[in-house]
Amino acid sequence: MSGLHIVVCGSIVPDPLQTLEPVTTPAGPGLKNEMMLPAILDPWAGHALFEAANLAKSVAGSKVYLVSLGPKAKLQQVMMTIGQKAPFELVVADGPASGFTDAAEVAAELAAAIEAIPGLDKSQLLVFGGWQSASRGAGATLQMLGERLGITDQFQGVDEIKMQADGSFTVLERIEGGSYQLSSCAGTPAVLGWATGNLPEPPNNPQIGMANMRLIMPALQKAKPAKVSTGEVSFVAVELPKQVRETRVVKDMALEEMAKEIVDWIRG
């Protein structure tokens, strides 16, 4: 089997510890001070990226691309961490990474960015991403992206991929009721929307970082502007999920006691 071309689609989301306050902007709904809030790589995309890097290591000659649609100045900050975690080449489409943009428009931009990657071999292509994102849980983007790229073997809620020597692979997908579905696929290309996967976040490795940066910085500089908007969608109201806070802060409580309390609560 020759090397895989793994394209991971993922962008940034505001750091979840920040105060996220919906506001109306001329471009549709947004978050208060969104541009100024520190961002992180979307955690679902993060799982996809780490799985991609791991897979690429096991199949000689493989290559990982991270395709990101997001504001490039903010992406650059996030790359200072993510760029140290796994070897990849960055492709940037400079546009909003908001949770309110239209998934179809985003998929179109991503498809265009992927099609434009020089030397990409579509027959060896695996498109990875999150099965949903931390800013928008619709789970729609990857499916539309796959369709646009003509890739119809699609898996969502993936926790594992196992490659065989002949290029076929098996995929473990989450399905309802806490169960898994095991599928086998004859070979690339395919789209995989990752759930959490099985890998921990790799520690930062500055040697990888320095090597990646040689390509990341030029990629950020030559990022093409991407036009995405809220599309046809009009938002009537936007609000954060209501927080029900009946929190008690308890130190040093035994795990069994905690579990018991939760069970009692569920039983009512």
Contact criterion met (CB below 8 Å) for 10 and 45: yes
3-class DSSP state for residue 143? helix
Tell me, residue by residue from 38 to 67, as one string, x for binding to another protein by CB under 8 A and - for no binding.
x-----------------------------
Q: Which amino acid is at 209?
A: G
Stretch that binds another protein, among 47-55, 68-76, 126-134, 157-165 (CB under 8 A): 68-76
Binding-site member from 109, 127, 209, 226 for another protein (CB under 8 A): 209
CB atoms within 10 A of CB 164: 12
Binding-site member from 27, 60, 73, 262 for another protein (CB under 8 A): 73
Q: How far is the CB of 33 from another protein (least distance, A)?
A: 5
Distances in whole angstroms, Cα of residue 240 to Cα of each of 26, 36, 51, 244? 20, 19, 31, 12
CB atoms within 10 A of CB 147: 14
Stretch that binds another protein, among 18-26, 166-174, 178-186, 231-239 (CB under 8 A): 18-26
Residues 103-132 that bind another protein (CB under 8 A): none
80 binds another protein (CB under 8 A): yes
Binding-site member from 26, 36, 150, 176 for another protein (CB under 8 A): 36
CA 214/CA 210 separation, integer angstroms: 7
Q: How far is the CB of 82 from another protein (least distance, A)?
A: 9
Nearest CA to 201 out of 8, 12, 44 is that of: 44
User: Site size for another protein, by CB under 8 A?
Assistant: 28
Stretch that binds another protein, among 78-86, 168-176, 181-189, 223-231 (CB under 8 A): 78-86
Strands (E), the chain: 5-9, 12-14, 22-25, 28-31, 39-41, 63-70, 89-94, 125-130, 154-163, 169-175, 179-185, 190-194, 224-225
Which chain residues interact with another protein by CB under 8 A? Answer: 15, 17-19, 21, 32-33, 35-38, 71, 73-74, 77, 80-81, 83-84, 203-207, 209-210, 213, 217
